[in-house]
Homo-oligomer: A and B are copies of this chain.
Amino acid sequence: MFEDFEAYITAVTPLSKDELQLMRSLARVKKLRRRQLLLQEGEVCRYKIFVLKGLLRNYRLKDDGTEVILRFAPENSWNFDHESYNNQTPSKNNIDALEDSEVVLWLRDDFEMLLASIPIMKEYSDRIKATSFDAIQERILMNISATSEEKYQAFVTAFPEILRRVPLHMVASYLGVSRETLSRIRHAQVNPTKNNGI
């Protein structure tokens, strides 16, 4: 529950007891069942989300009905829809739970107040933002310049845990590689000598 958040946050930034108490007083812990939506396209993203347990997914539903996966957010990560949260406009994306999950939610106004009144929380938040920006730049670089094999290998290295927890077609969607190509790559890695006739 909220203690798990306190354990996480105090390990990464030194909040005082009073500051933790202030964060707790405005927080709401929510359980999600697998496949439950936390944000639906067209709704305004009202909350800053911290994942205590489980795994969330941010995705866009295309006109043809396919789901495009923008992000996986496992335990101990922050989540929200950036554009909708910042501008309080209807979200283009969805957020759902891929496993039974538990999250902490803060209303946007409350979270902004927390950032304004707890300077080290603001610093921490800015640091996360900057790191996300760099990561997303690197993802673009991979997207536009790497082979499908390289994309898959980078995912395996960066997110071994997530690979074990989600179906392959979701990894394919996240990487922008077809399911068939990804199956072929995995098959070739499991059976590296097969094509040599050995």
Interfacial residues, chain A to chain B (CB-CB below 8 A) = 60, 62, 66, 68, 70, 82-83, 86, 129-130, 132-134, 136-137, 139-141, 143-145, 173-176
Closest CB in chain B relative to A150 CB, distance in Å:
11
Q: Could you write out 6 A-B pairs with CB less than 8 Å apart?
A: A60-B141, A132-B133, A133-B133, A136-B140, A143-B144, A143-B176
Contact A145 B176 (CB under 8 A): yes
> Which B residues are CB-close (under 8 A) to A176?
143-145
Per assembly, the copies of the chain total: 2
Q: How far is the CA of A82 from the CA of B131 in the complex (A)?
A: 10
Q: A68-B141, A82-B134 are in contact. List 4 more A-B contacts (CB 8 A).
A: A60-B145, A62-B145, A70-B140, A144-B175
What separation, in Å, do the CA atoms of A86 and B135 have in the docked complex? 14
Q: Which residues of B sit under 8 angstroms from A174, Cβ to Cβ?
A: 144
Q: Which residue of B lies closest to A174 (CB)?
A: B144
Residue of B nearest to A173 (CB): B144
A58 to chain B, nearest CB (A): 9
Residue ID in chain B nearest A81 by CB atoms = B137
Chain B residues with Cβ below 8 Å from A136 are 133, 136-137, 140
A140–B70 alpha-carbon span in the complex (Å):
8
Docked complex Cα distance between A145 and B176 (Å): 6
How far in angstroms is the closest Cβ of chain B from A90? 14
Q: For the complex formed, measure the closest distance between the CB of A174 and the CB atoms of chain B, giving whole angstroms.
A: 7
Tell me whether A140 and B141 are in contact in the complex, defined as CB-CB below 8 angstroms, given that A82-B130, A133-B82, A134-B82 are known contacts: no
Whether the Cβ atoms of A68 and B173 lie closer than 8 Å is no
Contact between B144 and A68 (Cβ–Cβ < 8 Å)? yes
